[in-house]
């Protein structure tokens, strides 16, 4: 097929007609301009769009609260007491886990702290934590505070896994070297499964294997991976993971996060942890004078009864994911992002380049476009043309053609505008 045909609007529309998921775009609210035309939304890696069903899901809980009051905990259409359980199976499928290993609760950094209570158990000689040199800031802040809490100098306690000089991407061989040289001092690896800046998707199974070989615990931040790639958390062997749900899982700004604790730790009651009412055995929870009886698995990390309205929004989105399946979403994602990459490469300019891996197995849907001599001007011009992307200092425009609600035509029109602006 000729390059000319592939770079035509007709070709993009033809691909949309062939796309079995194309109709799902109609199930989401798309931002519009003053004339009612859809904006091109490429920012699902920062905040996912709202499913049209979300309002109905939340209204159901408001209705039951209005009509039933406290009895809604047991008598609501979706009883509130076990509400988090309505999300577990779908969430487990998205991240490749067993239901025992997953729970929706709290927010991302809160969950990371709760997990590190269990999985960061430093000694005087084995206390260091490995993170990516360009980890998301909240991960770095959380790790620094954990080190200080345990009495260590955070500057001494953090080991950065860095890209090689003149490069942006990480090499697993360099992580292996770090562990070979300093493994006896390292207690924990806390790595972003998909790097927020470059979009690089790392080999979680290999990371777990390298860390465990040096008797280190291994945790993953899946904020930019959940709903984007298929991490197969159970098979990966990582000890724990945490994520938010408001990016690719479309649950709304600041919504609840989720966590994974591998089955091998599910029944270990000797693990140190912080507990609360909701980590107690659900069968005797309301017998107030029972001694604490820890629930097995991820549920044992809960502290309090969950916010139902937030969970209702998560359920609205997860029901869509459950209907489609991650394998189908991932298949479209690879094709759509591949087309986006192809079109960008057709632009005759030296002002931009893609720093995300070109191998589809090493990325999700996000492509990070690095801008030469960047001053945020190009990103602003895209916004002025009703294209919503995400600017990250110092020089990257992050674009995420999300398979649930982005089309081949979206990708085509964006690159045509980008070409004109350049």
**Residue 221 pLDDT > 80, yes or no?**
yes
Core vs surface per residue 178-199: b (16+ CB within 10 A) or e: bbeeebebbbbbbbbbbbbbbb
**Separation of alpha carbons 261 and 23, rounded Å:** 35
Domain boundaries, the chain: 3-51+325-421, 82-322
- β-pairing, 367-371 vs 396-399, is antiparallel
Q: Which two tokens stand for residue 75?
A: 């008598």
What pLDDT, on a 0 to 100 scale, did the predictor assign at position 203?
98
The label of the residue with tokens 């990257």 reads 396
Answer whether 92's CB lies under 8 Å from 232's CB: no
- pLDDT tens per residue, range 160-182: 999 999 999 999 999 999 999 99
- Average pLDDT value for residue range 386-411: 96
Q: How far, in Å, CA of 406 to CA of 351, rounded?
A: 26
Q: Is the pLDDT of residue 259 over 90?
A: yes
Q: Find, among 244, 227, 255, the residue nearest to 313 by Cα.
A: 255
pLDDT of 289 over the 90 cut: no
**CATH number attached to the domain at 3-51+325-421:** 3.90.1150.10
**Residue 1: pLDDT above 80?**
no
pTM: 0.95
Given pLDDT bands bounded at 50, 70 and 90, which one contains residue 374? confident
Task: Give the torsion through C-alpha atoms of 318, 321, 325, 329, to 10 deg.
Answer: -140
Identify which of 317, 250, 281 has the alpha carbon closest to the alpha carbon of residue 47.
Answer: 250
pLDDT of amino acid 62: 98
Name the token pair of 331.
């298949």
- At residue 404, does pLDDT exceed 70? yes
Q: Give the Cα separation of 387 and 341 in Å (integer).
A: 17
Which pLDDT does position 287 carry in this prediction?
Answer: 86
Residue 2's pLDDT is: 59
**Quick one: tokens of 12?**
């993009």
Asked if residues 217 and 188 have their Cβ atoms less than 8 Å apart, the reply is: yes
Q: What is the percentage of the chain residues whose pLDDT exceeds 70? A: 99
**What pLDDT does 313 receive?**
98
pLDDT digit string, tens, across residues 78-100: 999 999 999 999 999 999 999 99
**82-322 belongs to which CATH class?**
alpha beta
| pLDDT of 5 over the 80 cut | no
Half-sphere exposure of 273 (CA within 13 A, CB side): 28
Q: Higher-confidence residue: 288 or 398? A: 398
């Amino acid at each position: 097929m000729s390059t000319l045909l592939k770079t035509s609007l007709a070709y993009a529309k033809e691909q949309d007609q062939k796309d079995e998921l194309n109709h799902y775009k109609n199930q989401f609210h798309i931002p519009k301009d003053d004339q009612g035309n859809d904006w091109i939304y490429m920012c699902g890696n920062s905040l996912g769009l709202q499913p049209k069903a979300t309002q109905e899901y939340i209204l159901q809980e408001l209705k039951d609260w209005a009509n039933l009051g406290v009895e809604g905990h047991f008598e609501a259409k979706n009883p509130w007491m076990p509400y988090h359980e309505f999300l577990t199976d779908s969430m487990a499928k998205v991240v490749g886990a067993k239901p025992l290993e997953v729970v929706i609760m709290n927010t991302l950094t809160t969950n990371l702290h709760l997990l590190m209570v269990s999985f960061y158990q430093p000694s005087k000689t084995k206390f260091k934590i490995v993170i990516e040199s360009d980890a998301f800031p909240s991960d770095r802040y959380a790790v620094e505070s954990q080190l200080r809490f345990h009495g260590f100098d955070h500057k001494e306690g953090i080991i950065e896994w860095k890209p090689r000089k003149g490069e942006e991407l990480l090499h697993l061989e360099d992580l292996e070297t770090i562990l070979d040289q300093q493994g006896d001092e390292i207690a924990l690896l806390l790595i972003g499964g998909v790097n927020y800046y470059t979009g690089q998707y790392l080999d979680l199974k290999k990371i777990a294997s390298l860390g465990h070989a040096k008797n280190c615990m291994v945790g993953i931040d899946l904020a930019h991976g959940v709903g984007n790639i298929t991490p197969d958390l159970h098979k990966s062997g990582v000890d724990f993971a945490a994520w938010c749900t408001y990016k690719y899982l479309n649950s709304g700004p600041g919504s609840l996060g989720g966590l994974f604790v591998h089955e091998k730790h599910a029944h270990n009651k000797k693990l140190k942890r912080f507990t609360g009412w909701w980590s107690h055995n659900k069968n005797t929870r309301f017998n107030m004078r029972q001694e604490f009886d820890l629930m097995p698995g991820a549920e044992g990390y809960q502290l309090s009864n969950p916010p139902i309205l937030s969970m209702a929004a998560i359920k609205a989105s997860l029901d869509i994911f459950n209907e489609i399946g991650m394998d189908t979403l991932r298949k479209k994602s690879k094709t759509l992002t591949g087309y986006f990459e192809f079109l960008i490469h057709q632009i005759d300019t030296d002002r931009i380049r893609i720093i995300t891996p070109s191998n589809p197995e090493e990325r999700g849907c996000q492509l990070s476009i690095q801008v030469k001599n960047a001053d945020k001007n190009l990103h602003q011009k895209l916004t002025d043309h009703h294209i919503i992307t995400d600017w990250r200092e110092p020089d990257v425009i992050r674009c995420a053609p999300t398979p649930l609600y982005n089309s081949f035509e979206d990708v085509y029109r964006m690159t045509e505008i980008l070409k004109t602006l350049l």
